[in-house]
Amino acid sequence: MPEMLEVEEYRRLAALTLGRTITGVHAPDAWFLKGGLTPAQVTEVLLGRSFAADRRIGKLLLLDVDAGPTLGLRFGMTGRILVDGRAAIDRLEYSSDRNDPRWDRFGLDFADGGSMRMRDPRRLGGVELDPDEGRLGIDAAAITQAELRDVLGASDAPLKARLLDQARVAGIGNLLADEMLWRAGLDPARPSRSLSPADLRRLHRHLRATLDELGARGGSHMGDLQEMRSRDGVCPRDGTPLSRRTVGGRTTYSCPGHQR
């Protein structure tokens, strides 16, 4: 589920754990630990310690252990975080109830009786120690127009594929990409290099506006296009039946009428 807007909410929630002494580490699912990390190792690193800082790059949530390493949390498509039993986002798409304690893949207990949990039905997320932050591009929330131009580059790859490439720009997922391209009136399948200076300006403006607006509304699934993301959806702007294709390896909805 989470794109950068959701992970940003997770970060705010995780900030509540800063400075609290970790008295318990639960890693019941070894598969959920990445980069060779073992339950014993992660326990050793965290027990008796606390987090000093919370950070986010794209969809990666980072918790810096006080005078220690960094815990990296990824949420895949269905992961969420709970702190002291509270979730950042109560409503989840594609599910009536993704809130079953059986799906807890990683957790911490704190000395004050509180807790943090990662709950992920599909187990596509994970926990990693000192993740390679350099593999991620600039965070989409802060990208400038010039940086966006560099991201798109002189590539024949589909525009949407570039926006989804986390090594170039971090944080944009499938729903946000469709929404901002729809708003900007740009065909997701257009070669990345084909944008005119005016196209680039428009995309940059709508990228920022999409993140701002959907963030304020409560998440990546709050876009204007979202409710029409179905087989018989029509463009909310001009009523044209929406196109459904695979672009950049992902299901893509776009309006053949105004996205060029």
Partner DNA sequence: ATTGTGGCCTGCCCGC
Partner DNA sequence: TGCGGGCAGGCCACAA
- Under the binding rule (CB under 7 A), the answer on residue 123 touching DNA is yes
Cα 155 to its chain centre, rounded Å, is 24
Closer residue to DNA (CB): 20 or 56: 56
Q: Partners of 73 in the beta sheet? A: 61, 127
Closer residue to DNA (CB): 114 or 233: 233
Question: Is 6 one of the annotated active-site residues of the chain?
Answer: no
| CB 106, CB 26: distance < 8 Å | yes
Segment lying near DNA (by CB under 7 A), choices 38-46, 143-151, 168-176, 199-207: 168-176
Question: Is 241 one of the annotated active-site residues of the chain?
Answer: no
Positions in 5-24 near DNA (CB under 7 A): 6
- Under the binding rule (CB under 7 A), the answer on residue 144 touching DNA is no
Q: How far is Cα 86 from Cα 117, in angstroms, rounded to an integer?
A: 10
Tokens of 83: 């702190």
Closer residue to DNA (CB): 125 or 208: 125
**Count of CB atoms within 10 A of residue 158's CB?**
19
Question: Is 101 one of the annotated active-site residues of the chain?
Answer: no
Q: How far is Cα 214 from Cα 22, in angstroms, rounded to an integer?
A: 34
- Under the binding rule (CB under 7 A), the answer on residue 155 touching DNA is yes
Q: How many residues bind DNA (CB under 7 A)?
A: 44
> For 110, which DSSP code?
E
Site string for DNA, 27-66 (x = CB under 7 A): ----x--------------------------xxx------
Q: How far is Cα 243 from Cα 235, in angstroms, rounded to an integer?
A: 9
Catalytic residue among 56, 59, 105, 160: 59
Report in angstroms how near the CB of residue 96 gets to DNA at its nearest. Answer: 4
Give the residue, chosen from 46, 143, 161, 195, that forms a contact with DNA under the rule CB under 7 A.
Answer: 161
- Under the binding rule (CB under 7 A), the answer on residue 72 touching DNA is no
Positive or negative CA dihedral for 179, 218, 32, 105?
negative
Positions in 208-237 near DNA (CB under 7 A): 219-221
- CA nearest neighbour of 55 among 126, 131, 111: 131
Supply the DSSP string of 14-29, one letter for each residue. Answer: HGGGBTPPEEEEE---
- CA nearest neighbour of 120 among 97, 149, 142, 98: 98
Question: Is 236 one of the annotated active-site residues of the chain?
Answer: no
Active-site residues, by number, are 2-3, 59, 250
Q: Provide the binding-site residues for DNA, judged by CB under 7 A.
A: 1-3, 6, 31, 58-60, 74-77, 92-98, 102-103, 121-124, 155-158, 161-162, 166, 173-175, 192, 219-221, 246, 248-251
